[in-house]
């Protein structure tokens, strides 16, 4: 009789602790910050990211960054270029999610965009122009500053114009080298202007 009572009480206790068929799992914020916001910077700007009014980090040009530790749901996100000439948002972005930052269309931002683009392209490729200078120097040709004007199409194709008083062979070398560079595709045409001075 005692054994039956013990078994019956154990079964009642077990039934009381098990969840019923209609009970729902507890809901709450993702644990460990599993919600991620991915921002893709498709501009030549260094940008600062603000999430919920708090500066959360920055993104280098043409890079993608992940912002973790966010609760799932909508967040107010604002992005601004380093010098403040271009901005995106504020915008309600759902997390987890992705936001692609495109080049702005206003005039001032476009001018800054082209300056930033030109500086970045020249800094990355000036060694190839220096190779043209070395070849011209070996041939005994005069060296001098050269002005580049490069029209880049929406698909990244370049039309290069070099304005300088250097020899024809050196100017041809400049144009061929600059035409072979890889130019960012922004979805619209833009102009790159810079000056190259042999060292």
Give 129-153 pLDDT, tens digit per residue.
999 999 999 999 988 889 999 998 8
Is the model more confident about 15 or about 3?
Answer: 3
Beta-carbon-side half-sphere exposure of residue 53 (alpha carbons within 13 Å): 0
Determine the straight-line distance between the first and last CA of the chain, rounded to whole angstroms.
Answer: 104
pLDDT of residue 106: 60
With beta carbons less than 8 A apart as the criterion, state whether 146 and 164 touch.
yes
With beta carbons less than 8 A apart as the criterion, state whether 57 and 43 touch.
no
- CATH level 2 (architecture), domain 34-102: Sandwich (2.60)
Domain boundaries, the chain: 34-102, 107-196
Is the model more confident about 27 or about 189?
Answer: 189
pLDDT tens-digit readout, 93-106: 999 999 999 877 66
Q: pLDDT confidence of 21, banded at 50, 70, 90?
A: very low
pLDDT of residue 17: 36
Q: pLDDT confidence of 4, banded at 50, 70, 90?
A: very low
Helices marked H in the chain — which ranges? Answer: 2-17, 107-138, 168-179
- As a whole number, mean pLDDT of residues 88-95 equals 92
pLDDT tens-digit readout, 29-56: 444 447 999 999 988 778 899 999 999 9
User: Residue 139: helix, strand or coil by DSSP?
Assistant: coil
């Amino acid at each position: 009789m005692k054994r039956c009572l013990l078994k019956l009480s154990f079964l009642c206790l077990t039934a009381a602790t098990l969840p019923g068929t209609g009970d729902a799992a507890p809901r709450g914020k993702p644990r460990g910050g599993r919600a991620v916001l991915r921002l893709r910077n498709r501009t030549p700007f260094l940008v600062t990211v603000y999430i919920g009014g708090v500066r959360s980090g920055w993104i280098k040009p043409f890079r993608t960054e992940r912002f973790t530790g966010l609760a799932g749901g909508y967040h107010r996100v604002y992005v601004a270029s380093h010098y403040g000439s271009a901005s995106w948002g504020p915008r309600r972005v759902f997390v987890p999610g992705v936001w692609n930052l495109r080049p702005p269309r206003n005039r001032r931002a476009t001018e800054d965009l082209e300056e930033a683009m030109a500086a970045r392209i020249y800094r990355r490729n000036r060694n190839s122009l220096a190779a043209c200078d070395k070849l011209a120097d070996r041939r005994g040709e005069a060296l001098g500053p050269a002005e580049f004007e490069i029209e880049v199409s929406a698909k990244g194709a370049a039309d290069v114009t070099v304005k300088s008083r250097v020899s024809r062979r050196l100017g041809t070398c400049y144009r061929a080298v600059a035409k072979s560079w890889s130019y960012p595709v922004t979805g619209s045409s833009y102009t790159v202007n810079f000056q190259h001075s042999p060292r």
